[in-house]
Every structure is written in C-alpha cells, then in structure tokens.
Amino acid sequence: MFDLNVDELKDLVVGRNPILLLLDFDGTLSDIAPRPEQATLCPGNHLLLCQLANRAEFVVGVISGRSLHDVEARVNVPGLVYAGNHGLEIRGLGLDYRHPDADSASQTISQASHDLEIRLAGVPGAFVENKTYTLTTHFRQTPPYYHDQVVSAFDDITHPLVQSGSCHVTEAKMALELRPSIDWNKGRALTLIRSRLSPDSFPIYMGDDATDEDAFGAVRSAGGVAVFVGATGIPTCASWRLPSPAEVSAALVELVTL
Ligand SMILES: [Mg+2]
C-alpha cells in the first residue's frame, strides 16, 4: 500500500471519463464523533460534493453503514447516489433499490435491538442503534472497565442468530454490528451502482473501516483507485492510503480542479 499524495491523485485519474466517486461517511467525509448523531461533514465537504455532483464527468455517491435516511440527511447534497445499511438500500440519480431480503430481516433486528437495550441499560455510554435492517451497538464512550460486559451482552443476544445462520456480526470502530446473513456488502452495492448508473466509469472508493474492504476489492477488480483512510499498519486490500478525513477533503479539492 502506498501513501497517496493528493497531487498524485490527478495523475491517477486524468483522462478518465466518466469517474464514479463513492465515499464512506464516518471517518472519511466526517471525523469520527463521540456519538453517531454528532457526526457532520468536515468543513468544505458540502460545497466540494455539490461542485463534483455538478460536473458532467463525475457520478458521486456515499455508501454508509448508517440507515439510508440518516446518511441522506447528514450529507444533504442533491444529485448524489446514497447507499445506507452497507448498501441494502440505495437511492438517488434515478436508482431506488432495496435488497429483496432486507424487509424480512427487520423483525429479527428489531427484537435483537430490544433485547440488547435491556441488557445494556446499566452500562454507561453503551447504546443500541436500530437501523431497521441492521443494528449497531456503540461503546465509544463506555469506560474500558465495562467493555467486556458490552461484548458478552452482545454475544449472548446475537449468538443464537449467528448459530441459526440468520445473521452475522461485523466489528467496526468501538462498535459491534448485527447484520442479516444476506450476501450483500458495500462492494456488492458499489458494483450495482456502477452497473446501473455508469458501467464504463473509472471507480474511486475511499473508506476507513473493516466494512469498506469489500468496496476496496470491488474497485480494484474494476481497475479503479481504492483509498484506505487511516493510520499505517492496519491490514487493508486498498492500494492507497490517506491519513485522515482532512486529506480526503484535500483530495476532493484536487478532483474538483481536474
Ligand atoms: Mg467509516
């Protein structure tokens, strides 16, 4: 993996047309916030995304683990394609997609959310985010003393669902996610968006977390640029690295001025 000098980004993409630019939200377009509802676009990103969306040679979108409604409201830039719940729901630029198995998962997720809320009621800083088709248990603000308690509560509630094959668990930054066992992820979502909106496009994807790895793989298979956002030494299949969301913003500036 190579550190991406934002000046070099132009060399990688110059002459490519159209460009499909898809970005994760938390830790990529936004700094990681103590609580998910506090996350906002980094300064300048709203204008940059508007400018990119207005360029004829760009198709721009955001792929997030948040619910579709949440990520749409939080970015609030018209003319983008938005994917929520790791791509189980996608909307924008004429695309309106929900994975056919998503609705049947919502009852399971709802029950697990309820059970987890009861188990975590006495744990400081821990809370459950029910995103209808997936759920996230957050413990960024939980003192380390309680971390084992969060993990064992999560394991107890989710173990039967994982054993039965109906759900699987993914780990994110100070968060545990329960997702239905649907053969779907950010990479599959990226491939669907590309095939429906701009099949011949040159794809770029930037993301900061383990759930972004599928999208890195999909971008690389399509010959595009996969950019991991974060510190060195973290295993990733991305070929390029930017150290933080601030450098993502700098990269967007480079792309706007292509
Ligand atoms: Mg992220």
- Tens of pLDDT, residue by residue over 13-50, are 999 999 999 999 999 999 999 889 999 999 999 999 99
Ligand 1 centroid, distance to 160 Cα (angstroms) = 28
Ligand 1 centroid, distance to 22 Cα (angstroms) = 12
Class of CATH domain 2-99+184-256: alpha beta
SS3 96: strand
Cα 254 to Cα 17: distance, rounded to the nearest angstrom? 16
Residue 227, pLDDT score: 97
Ligand 1 centroid, distance to 48 Cα (angstroms) = 19
Q: Beta partners for 207?
A: 228
User: Which pair of structure tokens corresponds to residue 230?
Assistant: 């974060």
Q: Beta partners for 60?
A: 21
- Tens of pLDDT, residue by residue over 139-159, are 999 999 999 999 999 999 999
User: Which pair of structure tokens corresponds to residue 187?
Assistant: 């990479």
Q: What is the residue type of 49?
A: L
Residue 34, pLDDT score: 86
Ligand 1 centroid, distance to 57 Cα (angstroms) = 26
Regions of the chain short of the pLDDT cut 70: none
Ligand 1 centroid, distance to 236 Cα (angstroms) = 14
Residue 138, pLDDT score: 96
Q: Where in the chain is the domain with CATH 3.40.50.1000?
A: 2-99+184-256
Q: Where in the chain is the domain with CATH 3.30.70.1020?
A: 102-180
Of 3, 7, 11, 24, which one is the catalytic site residue? 24
CATH tag, 102-180: 3.30.70.1020
Burial (Cβ within 10 Å: 0-12, 13-18, ≥19) of residue 253: middle
Q: Is 101 a catalytic residue?
A: no
Burial (Cβ within 10 Å: 0-12, 13-18, ≥19) of residue 167: buried
Cα 106 to Cα 111: distance, rounded to the nearest angstrom? 9
Ligand 1 centroid, distance to 85 Cα (angstroms) = 12
Residue 7, pLDDT score: 79
Ligand 1 centroid, distance to 49 Cα (angstroms) = 17
Q: What is the pTM of this model?
A: 0.93
